[in-house]
Structure 1
């Protein structure tokens, strides 16, 4: 015989209506009561009838996750794995499921989002990027569908809930860190400039160099709009310059690792001849050879807070739209060193 709400209520010493409100995560019920009721539910083996719940509440208890254009890049990059871990943790805590887009083109992903919304497959959508000429966010706005963006929105940020780092400031701090180590010729390897995060980090780098009165050779800057950079080509272009950078900043640790391997194959010693620093600080940075100096963007927390914000919005549709900035910190490792130790001969 299956366990009912009345069975749970009786053992927990509360009314059946209280159990129902706990199941729907009502803010009217205290966290203490929620914990007590949920514990009884676990002990009795009470399981929700989700199909029936959807019919009654018109809620799927599912949020849609919209990735960047290439799902291949998404799953290869450990930053996104940690991001998903944070999202998954928040969904588990709030009894929500995830519905993940899997398209490999912008149009394919957009059509998946249309199906999510029009087919009522999800309650809200979490967009894991902020990009120019994007179809998804305008469609969600026009549909009056709940959504949260991971990253500062390209337009109407005051009307949009989002979670992000202060990428301009974080990039300034990393550039200043390398300048503090004595580096003046600092290169920057960025990403697709359609994405707000790539533009912000490049802006921070330029601002820090300008603040210190340091010139920037545009040949030190490598930004590939396709997000498919050839590390060997990057290294070849840098090593033939009259003035080779003594340090490089990468907007992504994954790309940093591929360029580090290419530098090593050409006999460039890291960090003695080339200091390397990057963003994100996942397991890739810790296991790199040498371990990588990074800006820790707190990927797990970014994911957790973005999912929590979306679920809060679903619970309280009239809440004031808010943004959240997750702090960053520099993690110093062996891929960077003071310029005095640099043995590079070419001036």
Structure 2
């Protein structure tokens, strides 16, 4: 015979209505009572009826997660599985499920988000990217629908809950590391110019060069996809310059792998001929040869904080927008070394 709420209430020594409130995570139920009821539910093998609970709460108990492009491309980058792992950990603890939304174009992605909102399939949405003049952000704001962003919004920053690193400072510090090693010709390989993270990291790169009295040259800045193939194309362009760079700041670890492969094909050694630094510290960073010096942005924690911020907003729409800054660290490995002094011409 199936276990009922009344059975759980009897074992826990509370009223059936109290069990219902615990299941609904009612704020007026004390932590001690919640713990006692949940213990009884677990011991008795009781599982709430999710559909009935959703109807009672007018909640889907689902969170929509929007990827920045089609899943086959996004999931090539270890950043996304790791940030999803952080989101999932919080979703599991709070009995939410995740619904992925992807699309090849901005239009397809917007249509997917519209379907989720209009059909009440999700209680809130998390964007795993931040884009300049994003139609999805504009739509969610117009609908007053709960959402959060992993990254910094390009506009209306104080109105949108978002989780980010200080990417300007990170870009400045990792570039300064190459400058401190004696490099003066330093290039920047970034993703699309409509991604806020690219612009912030490039701004940090610019500030470091200017503070060191080094030129900020357009030909030393290449923008391409956040994929290995994108990194390969960037190297071809930079090595064709009259004075190729001896240091590279690459905006993403996956792109860095393509950069390193292409440098090797062109007969350039890392770090002997070209020093390279990167961002994200995905698991591949220490498996490359040589292992990457990179900025650890604590991807898992970005996901955790984004989910917590959104769920707080879902439970209380009057919750003010929050800006959560996750700290970063520079992980020093073997892809950057001191530049050898050039022998003077005879």
Q: Flag whether TM exceeds 0.5 (same fold).
A: yes
Structure 1 gaps of 5+ residues are: none
- TM-score, length-scaled by structure 1: 0.94
Residue by residue over 1:208-228, the C-alpha shift from the partner in whole angstroms, topping out at 9 and shown as x without a partner, is 110111113322211137978
Contact 2:295-2:331 at 8 Å conserved across structures? yes
2:25 match: 25
2:259 match: 259
Name whichever of 1-10 and 260-269 sits farther off: 1-10
Name whichever of 159-168 and 221-230 sits farther off: 221-230
- TM-score, length-scaled by structure 2: 0.94
Contact 1:167-1:204 at 8 Å conserved across structures? yes
1:92 match: 92
Distance in 1, matches of 2:43 and 2:232, equals 58
Other structure's SS at 1:263 match: helix
Name whichever of 2-11 and 168-177 sits farther off: 2-11
Q: CA deviation at 1:332?
A: 0.5
1:330 match: 330
Other structure's SS at 1:339 match: coil
Q: Structure 1 residues 230 and 140 mapped into 2: Cα distance closer, same or farther (>3 Å)?
A: closer
Contact 2:198-2:251 at 8 Å conserved across structures? yes
Residue by residue over 1:293-323, the C-alpha shift from the partner in whole angstroms, topping out at 9 and shown as x without a partner, is 1101111000011011101111122122211
Contact 2:165-2:327 at 8 Å conserved across structures? yes
Distance in 2, matches of 1:225 and 1:253, equals 12
Q: Structure 1 residues 343 and 16 mapped into 2: Cα distance closer, same or farther (>3 Å)?
A: farther
Distance in 1, matches of 2:344 and 2:232, equals 21
Distance in 2, matches of 1:317 and 1:263, equals 51
RMSD: 2.0
Structure 2 gaps of 5+ residues are: none
Q: CA deviation at 1:68?
A: 0.5
Distance in 2, matches of 1:62 and 1:45, equals 23
Name whichever of 147-156 and 231-240 sits farther off: 231-240
Distance in 1, matches of 2:343 and 2:89, equals 47
Query: Are residue 150 (structure 1) and residue 142 (structure 2) matched?
Result: no
Q: Structure 1 residues 331 and 205 mapped into 2: Cα distance closer, same or farther (>3 Å)?
A: same
Distance in 1, matches of 2:343 and 2:54, equals 65
Q: Structure 1 residues 113 and 325 mapped into 2: Cα distance closer, same or farther (>3 Å)?
A: same
Q: CA deviation at 1:336?
A: 1.1
